[in-house]
Homo-oligomer: A and B are copies of this chain.
Amino acid sequence: MTRLRTQESMKDVPGSKVTPLPVSLHQACEPVACRQCGVYRLCLPLGLHGGDMTLLESVVKRKETYKRGQLLFSPGDRFDFIYAIRGGSVKTSVCTPDGRVQITGFHIAGELLGLSALASGKYSSEARALETTSVCRVEAEQLDQLAQKIPSLQYQMMKIMSGQIRRDEELMLLLGRRSAEERLAEYLLGLSRRFAARKFSPTQFNLSMSRGDIGNYLGIAEETVCRILTRFQNAGLIAIERRHVSLIDLAQLEAVGRMKPAA
């Protein structure tokens, strides 16, 4: 089913001025065919071949680029596109009528955005670039029509959505039942796993989101995030300086992730 590429073109030619800020996963991509894109197997890890792939390519608008802080879409916007992240990172969030915000996810290369808009025809959340980010936009309607012709595409999209539901369930578990330390440990490990799946270092990476964002996502205060990160550092589990993290003792970190015996 899922076969991952071993050779990844990490060495993207940044043409001219492509690295203005501390780059974590940013990759500047030329508008190449999907089959040549380093991340397409992550976007839609489907068993498409030959003609099917060409059809898929026909509905993809390649290489939109967003800078830090720019919106990809907002709640209520008409649902036009599914976004596939090629490089960079994005946060998605929902908010209460009175203005409180909950970040629902951080998304990196190879992930899809906008799926929850399918039901209502409008985006329900906001998506904002955390750093310079490039995406492929896929016309929702065309994709939909195309999916009707290509069963495996339909199937893969369902699988992706199903996976999203599963991850959301896990986040709920995190938010509902775990202590702040556990949440943070899990958070770091989760990032680590996702980076690993993309052939990036699982032990050294940059956080493209602020402490405040992390806290919001995990349902804890910004200050608590700082304190606990410091605590982890003092305990020799990680080394962290500003946005750069090194996971030093994975095993211990995992142990922290499941500490309390509780209910």
Please list the residues of chain A having a beta carbon within 8 angstroms of any beta carbon in chain B.
Answer: 94-98, 100-102, 104, 115-120, 124-125, 144, 147-148, 151, 154-155, 157-166, 168-173, 175-178, 216-219, 258, 260-263
Q: Report A92 CB to chain B, min CB distance, Å.
A: 8
B144, B151, B165: the one within 8 Å of A165 (CB): B165
Evaluate whether A219 and B159 lie within 8 angstroms (CB atoms) in the complex, with A98-B258, A101-B263 already known. Answer: no
Q: Which 9 A-B pairs have the closest CB atoms?
A: A176-B219, A118-B162, A168-B168, A175-B175, A119-B163, A119-B162, A102-B173, A116-B165, A148-B151
Does A100 lie within 8 Å of B172, measured CB to CB? no
Q: Report A85 CB to chain B, min CB distance, Å.
A: 17
Each complex incorporates copies of this chain amounting to 2
Q: How far is the CA of A96 from the CA of B96 in the complex (A)?
A: 29
Evaluate whether A96 and B175 lie within 8 angstroms (CB atoms) in the complex, with A124-B166, A162-B118, A168-B169 already known. Answer: no
From A115, A172, A262, name the one whose CB has the most chain B CB atoms within 10 angstroms.
A172
Does A166 lie within 8 Å of B119, measured CB to CB? yes
Does A119 lie within 8 Å of B160, measured CB to CB? yes
Does A154 lie within 8 Å of B148, measured CB to CB? yes
Does A168 lie within 8 Å of B163, measured CB to CB? no
Evaluate whether A159 and B97 lie within 8 angstroms (CB atoms) in the complex, with A171-B172, A172-B171, A177-B219 already known. Answer: no
B119, B171, B173: the one within 8 Å of A96 (CB): B173
Does A165 lie within 8 Å of B166, measured CB to CB? no
